[in-house]
Amino acid sequence: RAKDLGRNSFQLYTPAMNARSFERLSMEASLRHAVTRGEFKLVYQVKVDLDTGRMSGVEALVRWHHPEMGLVSPVDFIPLAEDMGVISDIGEWVLREACKQCKHWHDLGLPPVRIAVNVSALQFKETRVPEVVASALRETGLPPQYLELELTETVLMQRVDEVVVVLKELRAMGIRISIDDFGTGYSSLSYLKRMPIDALKVDRSFVNDIFDENDKVTEEGAEIVSTIISLAHNLKLKAIAEGVETAAQALFLHSKGCDEVQGFLISRPVSGEDLISLFDRNLLPEAQEE
Ligand code: C2E
Ligand code: MG
Ligand code: MG
Ligand code: MG
């Protein structure tokens, strides 16, 4: 991976490495201008309430259309953007665009939905997120209760007291906070208890491990997911499962009291236009309906 080359590390020179550094360099050069050149766009993935089968929210996911390289995954360019110090510019664009799109759905008269935006740990550290959020809401006219921020556990591990203050500020504005990829980081339970947050998102890797390759429930995999759901509920938080690909996973999660699911079973991330057809109907497969 390009980012593993590190900024200041010495490397033995090899042609393969040369190709990789070249790719990184050219990605860097274009990433710096990608925002102003309008090369980013957002796609949207629904979250579904397991009790009602209805859309409970939408997550915005960024895509980069590089003029020569084509579609570059956020998994590849977000770490690079962090290294280069441009993550906050990208993050601000994403936030504004997501609020604008959400307001647009509201204006179309669709049932008002909440939009979730991913905020990188570095962005959280280097900018005053409440101010950035306030200006995005002001400019787009989206009421704060329709905005949710998805933060990773890395954020919680920064200076705890300062993080608590910022999160309280955001929640006082009416914004919801969820912890993304929960279980993959190293946040301590005592810190978690102190965090003013609303939901835990069970990481997709755990959802994937509920069943083995023969579609049998695995003891360990099932136990981990159940435990995270219970933990969320004990802390008075919602539990959301991501990466749900099969009806069996959704049924299992429902039986464990999981509140919401998200994944290819229901919908891949789609354009703002295509999302419209997903409003106002049951999104769960037949077997889920009572
Ligand atoms: P995430 O926030 O945990 O988002 C979930 C990722 O899982 C998305 O990948 C989504 O397309 C994918 N996914 C959803 N359902 C399924 C499923 O059923 N099966 C499988 N295999 N995958 C599924 P994506 O869009 O490539 O994003 C990857 C990560 O990049 C995100 O993980 C998030 O951490 C980051 N990211 C995406 N957009 C942004 C953004 O605007 N800002 C920041 N800071 N990070 C972003
Ligand atoms: Mg997310
Ligand atoms: Mg996630
Ligand atoms: Mg994840």
Phi/psi at 270 (5° precision): -130, 170
Question: What confidence tens digit (pLDDT) does each residue in 143-157 have?
Answer: 999 999 999 999 988
Listed as own residue / partner, the contacts of 218-226 with beta carbons closer than 8 Å and 24 or more positions apart are 222/252, 224/183, 225/252, 225/253, 225/256, 225/258, 226/256
Q: Which of 35, 40, 42, 61 to mutate to test the pocket of ligand 1 (most atoms within 8 A of CB)?
A: 61
Ligand nearest to the CA of 200: 3
Closest residue (by CA) to atom 44 of ligand 1?
A: 120
Residue 167 CA, chain-centre distance (Å), reads: 17
Q: Do 2 and 24 touch, CB atoms closer than 8 A? A: yes
The answer, yes or no, to whether any atom of ligand 1 lies below 6 A from the CB of 154, is no
**Integer CA distances (angstroms), 61 to 127, 151, 197, 271, in order:** 20, 13, 21, 10
Q: How far apart are CA 147 and CA 98, in angstroms?
A: 9
Rounded to the nearest whole angstrom, what is the distance from the C-alpha of residue 111 to the centroid of ligand 1?
25
- Name residues with Cβ closer than 5 Å to ligand 4, which is an ion: 181, 204
Q: How far apart are CA 171 and CA 148, in angstroms?
A: 10
Q: What is the pLDDT of residue 17?
A: 67
The answer, yes or no, to whether any atom of ligand 1 lies below 6 A from the CB of 29, is no
Q: How far apart are CA 47 and CA 275, in angstroms?
A: 12
Q: How far apart are CA 281 and CA 55, in angstroms?
A: 8
The answer, yes or no, to whether any atom of ligand 1 lies below 6 A from the CB of 180, is yes
Closest residue (by CA) to atom 22 of ligand 1?
A: 243
Q: What share of the chain is helix, strand, coil (3-state, %, to 5)?
A: 50, 20, 30
Q: What is the pLDDT of residue 168?
A: 98
The answer, yes or no, to whether any atom of ligand 1 lies below 6 A from the CB of 269, is yes
Structure-token match 């077997």, residue found = 287
Q: Which of 99, 102, 118, 177 to mutate to test the pocket of ligand 1 (most atoms within 8 A of CB)?
A: 118
pTM: 0.93
Paired tokens of 27 = 């990605």
Closest residue (by CA) to atom 45 of ligand 1?
A: 118
Q: Do 166 and 137 touch, CB atoms closer than 8 A? A: no
Q: Please report, in angstroms and rounded to a whole number, the separation of the first and last CA atoms in the chain.
A: 47
ipTM beyond 0.90?
yes
Q: Do 202 and 239 touch, CB atoms closer than 8 A? A: yes
Q: What is the pLDDT of residue 9?
A: 55
Structure-token match 């005592």, residue found = 190
Helices (H), the chain: 15-34, 74-84, 87-107, 121-126, 129-140, 153-156, 160-173, 189-194, 204-208, 219-234, 247-255, 272-275
Residue stretches of the chain with pLDDT short of 70: 1-14, 17, 287-290
Q: What is the pLDDT of residue 12?
A: 60
